[in-house]
Amino acid sequence: MKTLNRRDFGVDFGLTLAAAILLPITTARADDTNMEVHIDNFVFQPPELTIKVGTTVTWTNRDDIPHTVVSAGKFRSKTLDTDDKFSFTFTNAGDYKYFCSLHPHMTGMIKVE
């Protein structure tokens, strides 16, 4: 599943429009095996995501500052610069809390059913 980055629109004018168009596309379907989380303004969006076992989640950093995605003992991304992505496939059910090791007040959760 490819979502449109607001950078694809270049400037502000596209943002509202993009959001309106994207909403139905990004809504999770039951058979989705790929899900996306964006980092914007030091926030994981969505902060909590419920997925099925076998789903791959891809994080994209859309800030001008690098971030990481770390779940202790489970997964750890490299440092993500602007527009860098990190993917992880969840093969076991459970709650995966994660955070940014550079800005640990940034937290998120993946619930795998």
Nearest CA to 1 out of 41, 48, 51, 68 is that of 51
Residue 45: name its binding partner from other proteins, Cu ion, none (Cβ under 5 to 8 Å by kind).
none
What amino acid is encoded at 107 in this protein? Answer: T
Query: What are the residues whose beta carbons fall under 8 Å from the beta carbon of 24, sequence distance 6 or more?
Result: none
Q: Indicate whether 38 belongs to the interface with Cu ion (CB under 5 A).
A: no
User: What are 38's strand-pairing partners?
Assistant: 45, 60
Q: Which residue's CB is nearer to other proteins, number 83 or number 113?
A: 83
> Which of 67, 69, 96, 98: binder of Cu ion (CB under 5 A)?
67
Tokens standing for 95? 């709650």
Strand order in the sheet with 85-89: 43-45, 34-40, 56-61, 85-89
Q: Which stretch binds other proteins (CB under 8 A): 16-24, 29-37, 46-54, 59-67?
A: 59-67
Closest approach of Cβ 12 to Cu ion, in Å? 24
Positions touching other proteins (CB under 8 A) are 6-7, 10-13, 15, 40-43, 62-66, 78-79, 81-82, 99, 101-107
